[in-house]
Amino acid sequence: LRDRLARSGAIGRGILGLLTRGSVDEDTWDEIEETLLLADLGPDATDELLDSLRRRIQVLGTDDPAAVREVLREELIALIDPELDRRLAASRRDAADGTELPSVLLMVGVNGTGKTTTVGKLARVLVAAERSVVLGAADTFRAAAADQLETWGSRVGVETVRADRDGADPAAVAFDAVKEGIAQGSDVVIIDTAGRLQNKKGLMDELGKVRRVAEKGLHGDTVAEVLLVIDATTGQNGLQQARVFSEAVQITGIVLTKLDGTAKGGIVVKVQRELGVPVKMVGLGEGMDDLTPFDPHGFVDALLG
């Protein structure tokens, strides 16, 4: 992870450098605050972290780099909350009527964030874990989207269910994908949805319908996960757009993509706080194997450099 995070250690090197250059005065604290804000931690988390750092370093009575690093590590991990459940629901399950059903993962988010790529990479992770997977191309708005998904499907060796014409009803594709998943006895069905940002009502109607119809296909059982894909490089603006999706449909987890392309690793803390759900996976590149479960401890170690 460390090697693949762009300019990793931005937070750690910045802060440790400041804290260990002699007396820690108000200017130093201002600079530490700036470092945290620049890393996209967000103002609230930055204040919290500064308060606890100040307190603990005072109690510690030392600016020994190893001790300070440990305090910083613990405080960052606490902010990310290692207790949150980040496992994906990705196995077959029994519906109320006893039928064995696949876990359905609905992927939502703004175009360009890496949603389709993430579906492909996620299928790869699941196949490697010996899960059987079917993909559903419910982004029927962009003609190329289904082609792109199908390419990923054949790359990782799973079937892609797609509409037979452009502009078809996305919910119908979701339904067909679920049906196919059930027919094949698959463990997981991953549904890629359209990411155009219309108004909130339009988005709500569209995603709500995809979800409802997928659940109809599941004999009334609920979809297992609604994963919101967010591009780590887009900062506050991207987060604002992402929030519209989380308001339109109840999300269960976040996939943060393009973490390889930013030094602003603090964004993990910010998205979790602002959206109130855990980051479950992170994208670290464009390749097939560049998606990993999010591990707070490994991530913080990488941040600290």
Contact set with ligand GDP (CB under 6 A): 111-117, 195, 257-258, 260-261, 283-286, 290
| Residue 112, annotated as binding a ligand | yes
9: Cβ contacts below 8 Å, ≥ 6 apart: 2, 302, 303, 304, 305
| Residue 117, annotated as binding a ligand | no
Q: How far apart are CA 303 and CA 121, in angstroms?
A: 24
Minimum distance, C-beta of residue 303 to ligand GDP, in the bound complex (Å) = 17
Write the CA distances from 296 to 50, 65, 72, 281, integer angstroms.
Answer: 19, 22, 14, 11
Minimum distance, C-beta of residue 143 to ligand GDP, in the bound complex (Å) = 13
DSSP code of 286?
A: S
Question: Which residue number, 118 or 186, has a Cβ lying nearer to ligand GDP?
Answer: 118
Question: Which residue number, 241 or 252, has a Cβ lying nearer to ligand GDP?
Answer: 241
Minimum distance, C-beta of residue 205 to ligand GDP, in the bound complex (Å) = 20
| Residue 114, annotated as binding a ligand | yes
| Residue 61, annotated as binding a ligand | no
Question: Which residue number, 195 or 278, has a Cβ lying nearer to ligand GDP?
Answer: 195
Between strands 291-293 and 279-283, the pairing is: antiparallel
Minimum distance, C-beta of residue 287 to ligand GDP, in the bound complex (Å) = 9
Q: How far apart are CA 293 and CA 84, in angstroms?
A: 13
Minimum distance, C-beta of residue 274 to ligand GDP, in the bound complex (Å) = 20
| Residue 237, annotated as binding a ligand | no
- 138 burial class (0-12, 13-18, 19+ CB within 10 angstroms)? buried
Q: How far apart are CA 133 and CA 123, in angstroms?
A: 7
| Residue 196, annotated as binding a ligand | yes
Q: How far apart are CA 217 and CA 236, in angstroms?
A: 37
Q: How far apart are CA 201 and CA 300, in angstroms?
A: 38
Question: Which residue number, 40 or 290, has a Cβ lying nearer to ligand GDP?
Answer: 290
Question: Which residue number, 35 or 160, has a Cβ lying nearer to ligand GDP?
Answer: 160
Q: Which residue is nearest to ligand GDP (CB)?
A: 283
Binding residues, as ranges, are 109-116, 192-196, 257-260
Binding residues for GTP, as ranges, are 109-116, 192-196, 257-260
